[in-house]
Structure 1
Amino acid sequence: MADSLREQQLCMAGHIRDPQANPPPPGIEARRLAVYRQLFFGNLQSLLAGSFPVLHASLAAEHWQALCEDFYANHRCHTPLFTEVGGEWVEYLQARTDQPDWVAELAHYEWIETALLLSDAAELEHDPEGDLLEGVPVLSSLAVPLAYAWPVSHIGPDHLPGEAPPEPTLLLAHRGAGHKVSFSRLAPLAHALLVALQDQPLSGRAHLAALAGAAGVEPAVIEEQGSALLLSLKAQGVVLGTRCDQAGASPLSSGRNEESAAAW
């Protein structure tokens, strides 16, 4: 009996997901199955449209419908939580290589705001008064450097790009006071510094020296500006202070409201 019930449930779920590819379970009126399909799929469409309003408005209605139907039919979500379906949608679009590249990037740009709003990530233990050059700067878990090939902050139904610009769009997404998420434009070196802070536990001076080496200039050339940038990021709550555990600080041991740019 249990096996029979499970088979009926799987049959019904398959039909609701994709009625063209899966026959309906026997004994259930087609009209009732259509109601279930409308309820389940309609809820998904509404959820995605509300979570990705710019993407929804930027795609033709039939294009959006086709993507939603294919996502519903073929993508297997790894979470049962409605709040995490947006991340699954982004993952799905990133795998759809037949779509314009800006589609997945715009979806990610819209999703990151929700991800930061809902984040409950704990901050690393840190010293808020630590020396940002001598110590290991701690980047807030609510600050994310972003890089896009497409100008995602300007894409919309009245502005659909035909080709990617020569320069990438570099942004910082950050959840600050009052749970407000803001996006700031970044200069290339500022973006590179934030990515380095995210990836490697080095001292601030070591990070700046590495960036100077990559740019082919002497460390002294950018250290003053870099130190000022670190202090500015700390004032904004993007950098929290320095690690209490200074392991890795030495380079020898390691082997939608858009705000003004963090220029460097």
Structure 2
Amino acid sequence: MHERLHEQLMSMARYVRDPQHNAPPPGIEARRLAVYRQLFFGNVESLLSGSFPVIRASLGAKQWQALIESFYADYRCQTPLFTEVSGEFLSFLEEGAGEALDLPPWVLELAHYEWVEAALLLSDSGEPVHNAGGDLLDGVPVLSPQAWPLAYQWPVSEIGPDYLPQQAPEQPTLLLARRGNDLQVHFSRLAPLAHALLASLQARDCTGREHLHALAEAIGVDSAAILAQGLALLENLREQGVVRGTRN
């Protein structure tokens, strides 16, 4: 009895996920199965439409529908939480769904850009222990966990139905995503030095002086040439709340 019920439920689940490649369970009207299909698929499609509105609008209804159907049929989410489905969709794209469905090459980066906003809004990362007035040059600067430096090959902040680039520009799009005190996520452009410094702060713990020395080596200049500019940048980032201070 239990095995029979299990097989009936699995048969229905397979059909609801992918009716094109799975037979319907016996004994259930097609009309009723269509209701179940629309209920479950419609909820997922609605959730992802709200999470990725620019991708949805840019791909158009037909290609967007095919993408969501592929995700719904083929991908096995690792979480039951609706708030994390957008992250699962991003993982689905990272695993190569774009190539299989012949999606535009900018879809993955645009999906990440749209996902960042929700991820930062829902982030529960606690405030790190720090000295707000610490020496940013000889102390170890602390980056806010709600401030993420981002780098994209495609101009993700400009892509939309009216601008669908065919070729990536020569210069990357460097951004800072930050959740402010107003509990909203704000995006701002970054200069290459600012992005490199923030990425360095995110990657390793060392003094501000050591971060700037490593950056100077990377671009082939003497560290003294960027020390004053780098310190001014760190102080400016502290004023904005992007750098919280230094480690105790």
Partner of residue 96, structure 1: 97
Aligned pair partner of 1:207 in 211, 215, 224: 211
How many angstroms apart in 1 are the aligned matches of 2:192 and 2:67?
Answer: 34
For residues 22-61 of structure 1, what are the structure 2 equivalents within 5 Å? 22-61=22-61
How many angstroms apart in 2 are the aligned matches of 1:196 and 1:4?
Answer: 57
Is 2:138 the counterpart of 1:138?
Answer: no
Deviation (angstroms), 1:97: 4.3
Deviation (angstroms), 1:123: 2.4
Structure 2: which amino acid aligns with 1:169? T
Partner of residue 218, structure 1: 222
For residues 1-264 of structure 1, what are the structure 2 equivalents within 5 Å? 1-94=1-94, 95-98=96-99, 99-244=103-248
Deviation (angstroms), 1:66: 0.4
Structure 1: which amino acid aligns with 2:172? P
TM-score, normalised by the number of residues in structure 2: 0.96
Structure 2: which amino acid aligns with 1:227? L
Structure 2: which amino acid aligns with 1:137? P
Deviation (angstroms), 1:153: 0.4
Structure 2: which amino acid aligns with 1:162? Q
What do the CA deviations read for 1:200-259 (whole angstroms, capped 9, x no partner)? Answer: 101000000010111111111101010011011111111111112xxxxxxxxxxxxxxx
Q: Quote the RMSD (CA, aligned, Å).
A: 1.0
Deviation (angstroms), 1:5: 1.9
How many angstroms apart in 2 are the aligned matches of 1:178 and 1:54?
Answer: 24
How many angstroms apart in 1 are the aligned matches of 2:172 and 2:229?
Answer: 23
Q: Secondary structure at the match of 2:157?
A: helix
How many angstroms apart in 2 are the aligned matches of 1:204 and 1:147?
Answer: 22
How many residues were matched structurally?
A: 244
What do the CA deviations read for 1:133-153 (whole angstroms, capped 9, x no partner)? Answer: 111111111011101000000
Gap runs ≥5 in structure 2: none
Instruction: Indicate if the aligned counterparts of 2:98 and 2:107 stay in contact, CA closer than 8 A.
Output: no
How many angstroms apart in 1 are the aligned matches of 2:6 and 2:129?
Answer: 48
Q: Secondary structure at the match of 2:202?
A: helix
How many angstroms apart in 2 are the aligned matches of 1:186 and 1:194?
Answer: 10
Deviation (angstroms), 1:3: 2.4
Q: Percent identity?
A: 64
Query: Runs in 1 of length 4+ with deviation above 3 angstroms?
Result: none
What do the CA deviations read for 1:128-185 (whole angstroms, capped 9, x no partner)? Answer: 1111111111111101110100000000000100100001000000001110110111
TM-score, normalised by the number of residues in structure 1: 0.90
Q: Secondary structure at the match of 2:178?
A: strand
